[in-house]
Chain A
């Protein structure tokens, strides 16, 4: 069974730092792009960042560039999001999700499995 489990959320002051983790199991972690998506209270979904299979390619939404860093440890089947210089507007539930891209027969792009989310609250 595919599972993604986030941890590391909590309350942090503006300007502070936090590192989220996402533990993956039930699939071959090294063959998938993995992504972070967040959802502010009462708002829609916002894609944050993603990383390719070996960690050599990363992409970010403009609002977190230079502040957030995505990484992965394939030996530990884990994904991370280092969040620095946090702002009130970063307050959200952060989800990790598995990306589906091209298979041998077709190319469809979507997120097929999601974790349960980790709440990050930035407040003084």
Chain B
């Protein structure tokens, strides 16, 4: 089973700053099967990025995804107040099951 490890656990930044979130897989992952979600307290997750780099409908272009193989990155170019949340990466594996990373919390510094 592929394990996804997200880092850092918590990212403390100010509005306007750039956020770089990492998702590292224990084995190579197809980019087509790598997605990112945003979750705010008390809410369901919301799809941000699919296929490692494609923005979901309605997602602002300050969000971007990149990477391949075992290393993937979610970048928020300039943090807006509404971007402070928890971010999860996810992959679909050859075992026909899904796994998530443990999440990265982006908090206001």
A positions within 8 Å CB-CB of B? 35, 37, 44-47, 50, 59, 61, 95, 100, 106-112, 114-117
Contact = CB atoms under 8 A, between A and B. Distances in A.
User: For chain B, which range describes its interface: under 10, 10 to 19, 20 to 34, or 35 or more residues?
Assistant: 20 to 34
Contacts of B46: 114
A-B pairs, 6 with minimum CB distance = A110-B35, A47-B98, A114-B44, A110-B50, A109-B92, A45-B100
29 contacts: A44-B88, A44-B100, A44-B101, A45-B37, A45-B39, A45-B45, A45-B90, A45-B103, A46-B100, A47-B100, A59-B96, A59-B97, A95-B44, A95-B45, A100-B50, A106-B51, A108-B32, A108-B33, A108-B51, A108-B54, A109-B33, A109-B92, A110-B50, A110-B90, A111-B90, A112-B47, A112-B56, A114-B45, A116-B44
Nearest to A48: B98
For the residues of A in contact with B, the DSSP-based class is strand
Interface of B: 32-33, 35, 37, 39, 43-47, 50-51, 54, 56, 88, 90, 92, 96-103
A35 B98 CA distance: 10
A9 to B, nearest CB: 14
Contacts of A109: 32-33, 35, 50, 92
Contacts of B98: 35, 47, 50
Contacts of A111: 35, 37, 45, 47, 90
Interface centre among B46, B88, B92, B96 (most CB of A within 10 A): B92
A57 to B, nearest CB: 9
Given A108-B51, A110-B50, A61 B97 contact: yes
Contacts of B44: 95, 114-117
